[in-house]
Amino acid sequence: MTTVYSGRQVVVALHGEVDILTAPTFACVLDVLFDAGRRDVVVDLAELDFVDASGLGVLGPMSCRLADGGGILTIRSPSPMVRRILDIAGMGDLIERGRPDPNSATLGPEQHSGDDSKPVTGATKSTDGAVRLPAFPASNEVIDAALRLVTALARATIGGADGVSVSLSRHGQFITVAASDETIAQMDRDQYATGQGPCLSAAAEGHWFHVESLADESRWPQFVPRALEEGIASILSTPLIVSARPVGALNIYSNTDHAFGPLDQELAALFASQASSILAEARTDMTTDEVAQRLRQALTTRQVIANAQGVIMGQQGISADAAYANLRQSAKRTGMNVHEAAKAVLASAFHDDLIGQVRR
């Protein structure tokens, strides 16, 4: 996150993701700017990959606070996926006019030129399809819950989607760990039963399969009639990649021919990347309670650091990045970690505040 001051306007540029762990820092920066009297705030999302409900929960209330104070919050340069999420959340009117150029989309090597795209480097073929993931313990439902969130967001965001699913190879066989409805889950099961279909092909070969019209499709002869019978007309299956190898697929189904244009394909790639990140970062030996505890600890630590950043920003009139650099230098100088240094800053600020109250 970077903050740039330009006259009466201040631009807050976000990078990476805004989620439950990073949203408190973002909120703290906006609070400090508001308390400092800044009423013209631009949130630049050009380098933001994803925002979840936590990030939306920061933008919405701050927009209202600024409006009530005679100011304005403007959102600049969101990606196609983030733009759709903002539209769904009713925040589309905050976006600056002008749409990003769809031709500037950046797809991965496994997602170019339809079915002729280049397979993922390191992909290995096997008799049963994709590279197998280590079996997640039954207690790791939290991973599947995260994938269900990705599925729900993809279903709501991609214009041509009538259903979305995530397929993975576990215990030597494919299963659907997330599906938007039963019809979509059955579409996946039909592919597993017949041993053919774009989902299995994407997972095995490591590049996406874009079936623009099932009525004209000659591949997968056992699966296609079942899909047509259920009213499915087009499918976009994108591989999930972990350590440069395919481990499953994100599948998007539509009841309409030629449903997925360039923008929809870009969004599918982004959601597949999100799902791949969830799988890559998951530790298969952690229980649900351990994951939840780590999330709580990380959130608490982030909040303490964010609060300390806010104090330093207010005291020295510097940006969030400069405040964090200050905090790191202080930690290094005193032999503490950043979390400990942040607690020390807050304790000192609390002490100074108490002394000030006594003197008054």
Q: Domain residues of the chain, as ranges?
A: 1-100, 103-281, 287-360
CA separation for the pair 275, 250 (Å, rounded): 8
Domain 287-360 CATH class label? mainly alpha
CA separation for the pair 10, 28 (Å, rounded): 15
Top pLDDT among 290 and 60 is at 60
Selected from 3.30.450.40, 3.30.70.270, 3.40.50.620, 3.30.230.10, the CATH number assigned to the domain covering 103-281 reads 3.30.450.40
pLDDT band of residue 169 (cuts 50, 70, 90) is confident
Domain 1-100 CATH class label? alpha beta
The partner residues of 179 in beta bridges, in order of sequence, read 165
Percent of the chain residues topping a pLDDT of 70: 77
Q: Which amino acid is at 208?
A: W
Torsion angles phi and psi, residue 72, rounded to 5: -155, 140
Lowest mean pLDDT among 39-43, 122-126, 171-175: 122-126
pLDDT band of residue 202 (cuts 50, 70, 90) is very high
Global pTM reads 0.52
Q: Which of 309, 296, 295 is nearest to 338 (CA)?
A: 309
Highest mean pLDDT among 129-143, 190-204, 302-316, 325-339: 190-204
Beta strands in the chain (DSSP E): 2-6, 9-18, 40-51, 72-76, 163-170, 173-179, 209-211, 234-242, 245-254
3-state secondary structure of 193: helix
pLDDT computed for residue 293 by the predictor: 58
Torsion angles phi and psi, residue 135, rounded to 5: -65, 125
CB within 8 Å of 73: residues ≥ 6 apart: 41, 42, 43, 59, 62, 63, 66, 67, 94
The partner residues of 47 in beta bridges, in order of sequence, read 15
pLDDT computed for residue 163 by the predictor: 93
Quick one: tokens of 217? 């499709």
Task: Look up tokens 């209330």; give the residue.
Answer: 61
Enter the DSSP assignment of 286: -
Query: Is the predicted pLDDT of residue 125 greater than 50, yes or no?
Result: no
